[in-house]
Amino acid sequence: MKKQLFRMALIAGVAVCSGSTFAASNWTLGNANAPVETAWHASSNTGTIAKGTINGYSGGVGVAYSGESTSAPQHALDNNVRFESVLLDFGADAVRLTSVSLGYYSNDSDIFVLAYTGLTPFAGSLAGATYQNLLSSGWTLVGNQSNVGVGTTTLATPDNLYSSFWLIGAGGFASGVGVTSGDKNTNGSWAALGTTKGKYDYVKVSAVGGTTYTPPPSGSVPEPGSLALAGIGLMGLVGIRRRRAAT
């Protein structure tokens, strides 16, 4: 929590002192304004994740791998046969995603959203990783969104969670497990993937929305007065944290 508070204060301070900007944005995937999109898939939660191919359609983007059927609904992002996800790379910008929109679904439409928050720089590749170990490798589960359907779902993203890398996959996600069906049994356990209770999820992601933090140009040096403002902002955030702890 202290690290998150420090990062939030740092971003706020930099924005005040050196011309950084925060702006609400929407990105239509598959278009020129979209982040860099790459496809990833694995045969199981413990299987090695490999790079696939992005499929672009009027309803959004899906994921394909060698030998997969291109017929509906397998042409979409899904968790049948293999677990599929799309990685969004926003480059130098730090982004807080607040919504995901689907333009197509079949059978079921559960999705999960992860953000990379690790201290080790991420190279933009999931090759060699496993879904089961993502949360212990610098990734944070932002949310499981159930039965999204064709439309937009709002993410409960913490106010101070900004990242350049976001992962959206078909189904649900659980710590120590990885990808799930996104559906639960009456006893609270995850339903096994299949055609009944734990239905396979087939979706196309059409757009994402959120807030962008753009850092200042490299080499800019804040003035002493601006540094003082940043310090005031930091103290204010620390005060807020202390008051919350006291209540």
pLDDT per residue over 6-46, tens digit each?
Answer: 344 334 444 444 456 789 999 999 998 899 999 999 999 99
Euclidean distance between CA atoms 153 and 191, whole angstroms: 22
Omega before 73 within 30 of 0, i.e. cis = yes
Residues 152 and 241 in one domain: no
Residues 46 and 159 in one domain: yes
Residue matched to tokens 């930091």: 234
Residues 88 and 185 in one domain: yes
Residues 53 and 2 in one domain: no
DSSP label at 160?
A: T
Per-chain mean pLDDT for the chain = 84
pTM of the model: 0.81
Tokens (6 digits) for 24: 């609400």
Residues 76 and 182 in one domain: yes
Question: What angle is formed at CA 40 by the lines to CA 36 and CA 41, rounded to 5 degrees?
Answer: 165
Residues 190 and 180 in one domain: yes
Structural domain of residue 16, as residue ranges? 1-20+222-247
Q: Over the stretch 110-165, which tens digit does the pLDDT of each residue have?
A: 999 999 999 999 999 999 999 999 999 999 999 999 999 999 999 999 999 999 99
**Residue 1: pLDDT band with limits 50, 70, 90:** very low
Please list, in sequence order, all residues whose beta carbon lies within 8 angstroms of the beta carbon of residue 90, skipping any fewer than 6 positions away.
35, 164, 165, 166, 212
Residue 183 has pLDDT above 90, yes or no: yes
Least Cα distance to 64 among 49, 53, 80, 50 occurs for 53
Residues 116 and 12 in one domain: no
Residues 101 and 112 in one domain: yes
Number of domains in the chain: 2
**Residue 241: pLDDT band with limits 50, 70, 90:** very low
Residues 11 and 104 in one domain: no
- Decide: 156 and 204 in contact? Cβ < 8 Å: no
Euclidean distance between CA atoms 85 and 79, whole angstroms: 9
Residues 171 and 235 in one domain: no
Residues 50 and 5 in one domain: no
Other CB atoms within 10 A of residue 214 CB:
15
Residues 112 and 233 in one domain: no
